Structure 1
């Protein structure tokens, strides 16, 4: 382009070119070039006719057709630089006017040598179609500008389109030249970053024809083009560069480019009958969206998928494997593309909330995956509660029933305090056993409800001490039965042990060991509230940690020792002849106690959470009621029976 008023020769040359173009208007490419030519002439005339744009300057121009040939474009550049008559490098034969710059070329293959040549002379070059990314290098081509953006922007738009349609398996056709190689390198890098695999790459020359048989066995259904060639796609979407329709101000960016919005066109082919009886293929395009690289990544692509017409009204499925839906993760198949994978359900405690997740995310420790494993939900908090567990009310009912029964027995024993049956069975120890049984059963209330540090410290220690009093009293009863029968022999030395001092001392001494254990337990390593989030999937178990395992097992072991000693002694004197001998009832009660706890301890160790607490409560209630029933109900029967017989005798008299 040069600022000269003499444009007659150029117009003449223009007329010659236009005549050639008109003869080839049937060719779409020639029609596009002809349109570019008319646009250029209109712009020059518009500038020259507007005095506010370039006052006192008239633009002229020389038009040359490069014909897409590198040699010809170099010749034309030198021709414009030297003058019209001769080509003389480094000389200008122009008689007037100054050369302002060059516009063109449309293709990268011819624009690149132009830029290399003009860069040496410092002339400005503005291309309206060259997209090769190497031309964005301002160190190599500081004088090159273009009204379009490079191929990298188109590659980014293509990647966005593939992701939008959920395609991750493609075929690439690339021209076997430098431009195709550069575009392929960048496109391949962006595809890999986005998790899209390339099934196969075909390198083509301009004259090469690709047969359908070469791609029919491939799995991918989407084909991408790289470089200067074009071809027929199975599912073809074309990106067209356009000027801003609002005529707003546009500026070159730091790469010498004018930012543009890419249109996404839906290419539609239609088959029609022609007049000769044959078929005519017509191609139509429809705008279905756009891509604006200047926006934020989540707003760059704007597409209306409902407006797209697909072949056979079916969108292509260009994937190597089925999509892994939320709740699953990808597991790459060894020896295959990374896009070829199996879908594996997320492991326990993990979720994936998006499709084709590489990995599953671990839930927070207080959360657990839902059934679909696509989101984390709060874990269920578990402890033996009145709000959620019917068994808690069952235990409460049995506790009230047992406590009422014990109170009734205490009332009857108190009423018949001086009766022979009550006196013969050591009424003081019986009273201690009944009161201790009631208190031990009330300890069940410490086991029901949300555990806290206070209840955790009290539940086992209180029960252990109180029930030890029960077992110590039972053992003292058994010992006194043995002593009583030993003392029946005249002059026996056992008589001095008969009385209330010995059994009381036995109870005090034996119980004090459990009290000492409880004090040391609370002092050194007391029980505490424990929140277990790992042992049971989907649950947060609030439970009591015993603290010192040694103290806990000593408590159980010591009670077991007292029960076994009572059982052995009671078994030895069970057949002694006396109507008031309760040894056999003690034997039965200790058998019940031992059986209950022998069964309960393994169940306790193998259970968790509220089930473990339920086992403890059951063992406490079963053993306590076993002692009450086996020892005191027969006495109660004897008391009431003796009372009834006494009334009958009084009535007979």
Structure 2
């Protein structure tokens, strides 16, 4: 009771001199008016379509605030009338019942909104809460309003009585959730609109955009929602400007101040995309601003306008004479989904000024739209500027009236159809059927509005356009938004081209469906999508670096670090190529790496293999020569068997180098280092045995020497076997615990993958080399101290020199091996094997071969026992 008393007190304070008292206007001919009775004597149901036509504060420079109306929205009322007529003419829906409607005007005043709503609820100009007086017109549902503010004012009263309220405007979820029970959304909530705007910007790559929002609660809510959403997806707002909804048109300074605030935004060439959020008044004010600001107007021909669903292209007042929408040519609008209805165009063509009785709304619309005066049809010829009645709606430009059904009109049509189908379902229910049979049929006049909710929520039907209409569990009609492109013409008319759709049923990130080839761009873009970004793109091969003090959409471009690439534009960070690929010169893609190993086919591999085979053949010839001359003194000296073993091991050393050539395999990796280590150890052991033999033989020649018992094959055989056995044990442990295996090194070389043998245990590998080096040092030391022994017993000089070469080669091998990669590391090891083996072969056996083959006269016992030094002639 307190609420109603407060409302009454508030309404009593309305200034009747400025805004006339509300008087419901008859709108349609007799057969449309509420309260009519048809066959069966049943009363019609009343629908209230709320706030369809009026807006306040249109452009005017008068000192007084002038109330004006926008004729374009008259189509909403015509859609309501068309739908009611279609239902009443359809015998399959609500047979024997007549559906009526009542149109209210609130003059865009909050107090009048409450006044009109109370009048609808209590059916009388004398408000008595909880009592119904006057004509029995049964209110069953309310359609309205276009904006959220008036809808909420209505809901404050309608929700108390659970009257269904059908909203045909697009509201934010946060606004309508609190009124979820009474609200039925004929249009998807703005959540899908946010997704559509985001996907559109991403589709065209517009990352630096401006935002113009209405200076009201809706604009603030949109700004709070859209700004973080865009930011999360790499899009920045270059500026945010609020458009005053109630510009003081009588104060020129206030208006020009608004113009100056917007001027510098239009001069910014980097911002080519403007998002507009608001209602038709936002466009009216913005269009006036563009018309009055030549500087800004000049630059708007290189801008893209993105408009939200509640915004519409309308003209009012003086704009209908001087204004147009050429500034908005090519604008992309998210429009409420619509579909042309059979018969609607013909219905509009049948609207006639003098054919409608008692239709004051039509009279006012006709005068405003056609700029004429409505007089009695008999006097029209005698009154200057009188309406003839022959004017056609098709002749009106789009900003004044559009013949195609708009999205809002389509939503109104579906709302009325939803109510009618819900009533029909209730009418056809089993309970009413049983009551009919018993003679107690429930009268629709006794129907309460709250009883309609259960039939609305589960109701689904196909409208005359063939589209299915139903409410989900949030009392919202499923669907998306159409995307239209505005094409303007010099005669102030325009045409909307449907170029896409926001379809929420598609996968996430794919909700936007748009056809770029259908879009007509502004004349300054040469019919190609413009750029709207803070700076030029960072091309592939570079990455973004944030500028200090600027938004994250403003950045510098730096070339990718070495070894990294960027395949796409505007990458935040460069990425590394996969292990088997490497960056190309421009660092914008990865190229496959080639396999890198020492092949038999390449020059280096062929050269090393040829050298190895040559030395093998030379060693084999030396061995054959020694076998042929085995009974000569020079061959028999210093243990013939050890000499044979040394030559065989050297020949195998040359052959084992071939295991290092070619692509590594499991077999070659498993055997090559172990074979090399054991064979070389045998060779070095033979050299050590020969050196020890020289020393022991020299010491045994001294009178009374105890070394004579060591002279013979047993000592040399023991040395060779024991030294080789230790190396064999080391290799067996290596192969049994952590053997070498084929591996690929993708890091060492930039453009190639090294096919190599991973040594498994690096410790065991260097232990094998270390043991071999230890034997070499021992052999070198022993040979060095024995180098001055008499020549008849002495090979120590040649052994000393050969071991010096051997140790020098392998001491150089270690640092060189560690500092090279790939096939060159393998080549270093092969070269070391060949060089050290060739050093042993050449230094030890070349003097003997010289004597055997070229100086056979020196190969006799007398020469060997000479105490003087033997000098080999050149």
- TM-score (norm: length of structure 2): 0.63
Q: Give the one of 226, 247, 253 matched to 1:187.
A: 226
Structure 2 partner of 1:444: 657
1:346, 1:118 → 2: CA distance? 64
1:132, 1:549 → 2: CA distance? 69
Structure 1 partner of 2:530: 316
Structure 2 partner of 1:80: 120
Question: Measured at CA, do residues 140 and 590 of structure 1 come closer, stay the same or move farther in structure 2, by a change above 3 Å?
Answer: same
2:733, 2:749 → 1: CA distance? 32
Q: Give the one of 423, 428, 431 matched to 2:644.
A: 431
User: How many pairs were matched up?
Assistant: 621
Question: Measured at CA, do residues 112 and 359 of structure 1 come closer, stay the same or move farther in structure 2, by a change above 3 Å?
Answer: farther
1:160, 1:240 → 2: CA distance? 15
586-595 or 291-300: which moved more?
Answer: 291-300
2:235 matches 1:235? no
2:36 matches 1:5? yes
Question: Following TM superposition, by how much is the alpha carbon of 1:386 offset from its aligned partner in structure 2, in angstroms?
Answer: 4.4
Map of 1:632-647 to 2, 5 A cutoff? 632-643=845-856
Q: Give the one of 209, 226, 230 matched to 2:277.
A: 226
- Kindly indicate whether the alpha-carbon contact (under 8 Å) linking 2:143 and 2:166 is maintained by their aligned counterparts in 1: yes
- Kindly indicate whether the alpha-carbon contact (under 8 Å) linking 1:329 and 1:345 is maintained by their aligned counterparts in 2: yes
Map of 1:360-399 to 2, 5 A cutoff? 367-368=580-581, 370-371=583-584, 381-386=595-600, 390-399=603-612
Q: Give the one of 275, 285, 293 matched to 2:504.
A: 293
Structure 2 partner of 1:630: 843
1:471, 1:640 → 2: CA distance? 26
2:304, 2:36 → 1: CA distance? 50
2:732, 2:189 → 1: CA distance? 83
Question: Following TM superposition, by how much is the alpha carbon of 1:394 offset from its aligned partner in structure 2, in angstroms?
Answer: 3.1
2:467, 2:34 → 1: CA distance? 26
Structure 1 partner of 2:171: 131
2:475 matches 1:256? yes
Q: Give the one of 158, 166, 171 matched to 1:118.
A: 158
Structure 2 partner of 1:621: 834
Map of 1:339-418 to 2, 5 A cutoff? 339-343=553-557, 355-357=569-571, 367-368=580-581, 370-371=583-584, 381-386=595-600, 390-418=603-631
Map of 1:604-619 to 2, 5 A cutoff? 604-619=817-832
Question: Measured at CA, do residues 71 and 592 of structure 1 come closer, stay the same or move farther in structure 2, by a change above 3 Å?
Answer: same
Computed over aligned residues only, the root mean square deviation of the Cα atoms, in angstroms, reads 3.9
SS across alignment from 2:835: helix
1:83, 1:555 → 2: CA distance? 110
600-609 or 440-449: which moved more?
Answer: 440-449
- Kindly indicate whether the alpha-carbon contact (under 8 Å) linking 2:694 and 2:793 is maintained by their aligned counterparts in 1: no
How big is each residue's C-alpha offset from its partner over 1:51-81, in whole Å with a ceiling of 9 and x where there is no partner?
Answer: 2222111122222333433333333323333
How big is each residue's C-alpha offset from its partner over 1:559-606, in whole Å with a ceiling of 9 and x where there is no partner?
Answer: 223333333444455466647854333233222212211111111223
Question: Following TM superposition, by how much is the alpha carbon of 1:165 offset from its aligned partner in structure 2, in angstroms?
Answer: 0.7
- TM-score (norm: length of structure 1): 0.82
2:263 matches 1:213? yes
Map of 1:257-272 to 2, 5 A cutoff? 257-268=476-487
2:336, 2:810 → 1: CA distance? 86
Q: Give the one of 708, 719, 744 matched to 1:506.
A: 719
1:479, 1:32 → 2: CA distance? 119
- Kindly indicate whether the alpha-carbon contact (under 8 Å) linking 2:123 and 2:137 is maintained by their aligned counterparts in 1: no
2:550 matches 1:336? yes
2:582, 2:819 → 1: CA distance? 26
- Kindly indicate whether the alpha-carbon contact (under 8 Å) linking 1:329 and 1:360 is maintained by their aligned counterparts in 2: yes
Question: Measured at CA, do residues 153 and 484 of structure 1 come closer, stay the same or move farther in structure 2, by a change above 3 Å?
Answer: closer
Question: Following TM superposition, by how much is the alpha carbon of 1:618 offset from its aligned partner in structure 2, in angstroms?
Answer: 1.7
1:635, 1:298 → 2: CA distance? 87
SS across alignment from 1:120: coil
Structure 1 partner of 2:674: 461
- Kindly indicate whether the alpha-carbon contact (under 8 Å) linking 1:74 and 1:114 is maintained by their aligned counterparts in 2: yes
Question: Following TM superposition, by how much is the alpha carbon of 1:464 offset from its aligned partner in structure 2, in angstroms?
Answer: 2.0
How big is each residue's C-alpha offset from its partner over 1:141-182, in whole Å with a ceiling of 9 and x where there is no partner?
Answer: 422224322333222211111111111222222222212122
- Kindly indicate whether the alpha-carbon contact (under 8 Å) linking 1:241 and 1:260 is maintained by their aligned counterparts in 2: no
- Kindly indicate whether the alpha-carbon contact (under 8 Å) linking 1:102 and 1:123 is maintained by their aligned counterparts in 2: yes
Map of 1:501-580 to 2, 5 A cutoff? 501-522=714-735, 526-528=739-741, 532=745, 541=754, 543-574=756-787, 578=791
Q: Which runs of 5+ in 1 are unaligned?
A: 8-13, 273-279, 647-653
Q: Give the one of 138, 153, 165 matched to 2:204.
A: 165
- Kindly indicate whether the alpha-carbon contact (under 8 Å) linking 1:133 and 1:151 is maintained by their aligned counterparts in 2: yes
The structure, 1 or 2, with the larger RCO (C-alpha pairs under 8 Å, 6+ apart) is: 2
2:229, 2:466 → 1: CA distance? 33
SS across alignment from 1:100: strand
Structure 1 partner of 2:86: 46
Structure 1 partner of 2:416: none
Q: Give the one of 621, 635, 640 matched to 1:422.
A: 635
2:122, 2:700 → 1: CA distance? 146
2:737, 2:788 → 1: CA distance? 47
SS across alignment from 1:598: helix
Map of 1:99-118 to 2, 5 A cutoff? 99-118=139-158
Question: Following TM superposition, by how much is the alpha carbon of 1:488 offset from its aligned partner in structure 2, in angstroms?
Answer: 5.9
How big is each residue's C-alpha offset from its partner over 1:356-391, in whole Å with a ceiling of 9 and x where there is no partner?
Answer: 455667776x6445537677777655554547x553
Question: Following TM superposition, by how much is the alpha carbon of 1:439 offset from its aligned partner in structure 2, in angstroms?
Answer: 1.8
Structure 2 partner of 1:277: none
2:79, 2:107 → 1: CA distance? 19
Q: Which runs of 5+ in 2 are unaligned?
A: 1-31, 39-48, 60-66, 248-254, 288-299, 306-331, 341-464, 860-874
How big is each residue's C-alpha offset from its partner over 1:306-345, in whole Å with a ceiling of 9 and x where there is no partner?
Answer: 3322341253322234445566655544543233344566
Structure 1 partner of 2:684: 471
1:369, 1:509 → 2: CA distance? 51
